[in-house]
Amino acid sequence: MSYVDSTQAGVLASTATYVYSKEFDDKFQTWLANALGCFPIHVKPMFREFETAISTNVLNVFFEFYQIEFIGTPYDVEETDDHLDQAYEGMAHCRVKLIGENSREKAFLLHDLIYLSQNVDALQKFGLSINEVQIIEIDRLAEGHARTPMSTVDLTLDYSYVRRWAIKSIVSAPTRIQNS
């Protein structure tokens, strides 16, 4: 399958800003590590949870964007002779599991820090803003014979991104005059 601009047949080419991807996960991972004051190496996407053993003497943080709901239809942001930018909006639901040392304290910190704009400015740089946060579980993880403290926090985030489509205006489209 080839991607083309709107003057040719085929699927239109596009690029996206802030769309959910590995780079997006990496940025969220950095934000979460900074917000909780822990090393980024101890903050991982949930699907990598069992790649390494959980250390009980440090805080381990696992996160997962488990649902993205879109609200309404995309709307045009900018249209030029070479492209059309469309914005998509919705809500992203993220579950954060905190396991180990100070996990309960850090769950409350994650809840509380969203009320200060300085703490959430970095999220807005990649299309997120916090809508709601709930501590949904305070428990202990059975790890061998030990029971490690664990907390779970659900974040509801407003999410938006822009996609640029290679749509050319009628003015720039190649034309041919046919003789009748």
Model pLDDT for residues 122-149, shown as the tens digit of each residue: 888 888 988 899 998 877 766 565 677 8
Model pLDDT, residue 52? 54
Model pLDDT, residue 82? 87
Question: How far apart, in whole angstroms, are the C-alpha atoms of residue 95 and residue 79?
Answer: 37
Model pLDDT, residue 144? 60
> Can you tell me which residue has the tokens 């590995």?
22
When pLDDT is averaged across residues 49-77 and rounded to a whole number, the result is 82
Model pLDDT, residue 48? 57
pLDDT at 175 over 60: no
Model pLDDT, residue 73? 95
The torsion angle over the Cα atoms of residues 52, 55, 60 and 62, rounded to 10 degrees, is 30
Residue 155 CA, chain-centre distance (Å), reads: 11
Question: How far apart, in whole angstroms, are the C-alpha atoms of residue 145 and residue 131?
Answer: 39
